[in-house]
Amino acid sequence: MAHETPEDRPSGMRAGATAPAKCILLGEHAVVYGMPCLSVALDMRTAVAAERSTSATTVNGHPLESRYHSYLMQVLDRVWKDPSALRLTTRSGIPSSSGMGSSAALSVAAAATLYDLQAGASDAEVAQAAFESERATQGGGSPNDTSVATAGGAILLAPERRTDAGLEHLWSVTLDDRAWEVHRARLPKLALVIGVTGVRSDTGEQVAKVRRFVERSRFGEETMEAVGTLVWEGLDALRTEDLATFGNIMGRCQTALHTMGVNHPSLQRLIDAAHTVPGTYGAKLTGAGGGGSVVVLTLDPEGVAEAIGRAGGIPYVLEPSTEGVRHTAGEEATEAEVQR
């Protein structure tokens, strides 16, 4: 690596962690305004590894720079309390700026890795640090994505602790005087198709756009409240395996997201393509919108994947992943496979 000499090579302990992608089923954007949000982790992961270094901190052999490593810098600021420099490696299997939570997975895997190099931390502490780091980088937002990447499986975020609807409370994430309660949701097995538009989307920009919509009139707040009601109805529909009702609710959330201003022609093309396939229950954008990805619930994942491909998207047929953050010795992010 161009920026390192053999003397820079560290000795000693190496730590690492991986964290999964996520897909928001219902409730993106409204979750920023205290509404519930239902998400699942996906079977794609980002890996981080770290060891102490005797020279300046590097990422994949390059100097740490805010232009390239803004998320890692925020995590380091919060979690790394040791004076030593670090040699960090990262490897992402999650498409970036695609609504699939690549920055959340990176923040979670990095926080877990850095805690493991020190005294260790609970999942709740990892989720809190990753949220604060992501929020500082994006300039707003909720702990939804970092909570899903930490906990894995299906997660429902709500403003209050719930024990109904089959929910199990995991932890709270706080910011100033606000709290988000993170719950494990039990969902039936789902076959999801994610369609990536290839149009890169900046979460911070989309969150800021929706903030202007909410602040403009009471209608903005009402739209968020309507999405909140749909999330609870959707959770009930999924628990009773009423996929037709759930698909209809996905469509109603998509209409609300369009009203908020975060739909995009590239997303609409993939949603329309999915609806041409018999057996499709519902389709909507997932994540921040403005580009990024759609999620489709269907009886025919292969048919929908083909239709999305024909419409210009990149399809992934994925099952939700039950595994959240995974602590490793760093073997998943080795120099041979790093990306900047």
Q: Which segment (41-49, 142-150, 162-170, 217-225) binds ligand MEV by CB under 6 A?
A: 142-150
User: Is the separation of the CB atoms in 16 and 113 below 8 Å?
Assistant: yes
19-41 burial string, b = 16+ CB within 10 Å, else e? bbbbbbbbbbbbbbbbbbbbbbb
The interface with ligand MEV within residues 269-328 (CB under 6 A) comprises 287-288
User: Is the separation of the CB atoms in 265 and 256 below 8 Å?
Assistant: no
Strand order across the 314-318 sheet: 280-286, 293-298, 192-196, 314-318
Q: Which of 142, 293, 298, 321 binds ligand MEV (CB under 6 A)?
A: 142
Window 176-215: contact mask with ligand MEV (x via CB under 6 A) = ---------------------------x---x--------
Look at residues 140, 292, 286 and name the one whose alpha carbon lies nearest to residue 207.
Answer: 140
Regarding 254 and contact with ligand MEV (CB under 6 A), the answer is no
Distance CA 117, CA 122 (A): 14
Q: Which is nearer to ligand MEV, 152 or 330 (CB)?
A: 152
Distance CA 260, CA 148 (A): 24
Q: Which of 60, 74, 103, 144 binds ligand MEV (CB under 6 A)?
A: 144
Q: How far is the CB of 168 from ligand MEV (least distance, A)?
A: 21
253 phi/psi in degrees, rounded to 5 = -65, -40
Q: Which is nearer to ligand MEV, 9 or 178 (CB)?
A: 178
Q: How far is the CB of 290 from ligand MEV (least distance, A)?
A: 10
Instruction: State both tokens at 43.
Output: 């079977």
3-state secondary structure of 153: coil
Regarding 48 and contact with ligand MEV (CB under 6 A), the answer is no
Q: Which is nearer to ligand MEV, 137 or 203 (CB)?
A: 203
User: Is the separation of the CB atoms in 63 and 87 below 8 Å?
Assistant: no
Regarding 44 and contact with ligand MEV (CB under 6 A), the answer is no
Regarding 149 and contact with ligand MEV (CB under 6 A), the answer is no
Q: Which of 51, 145, 181, 332 binds ligand MEV (CB under 6 A)?
A: 145
Regarding 98 and contact with ligand MEV (CB under 6 A), the answer is no
Residues in contact with ligand MEV by the rule CB under 6 A: 24, 28-29, 31-32, 141-142, 144-145, 203, 207, 287-288
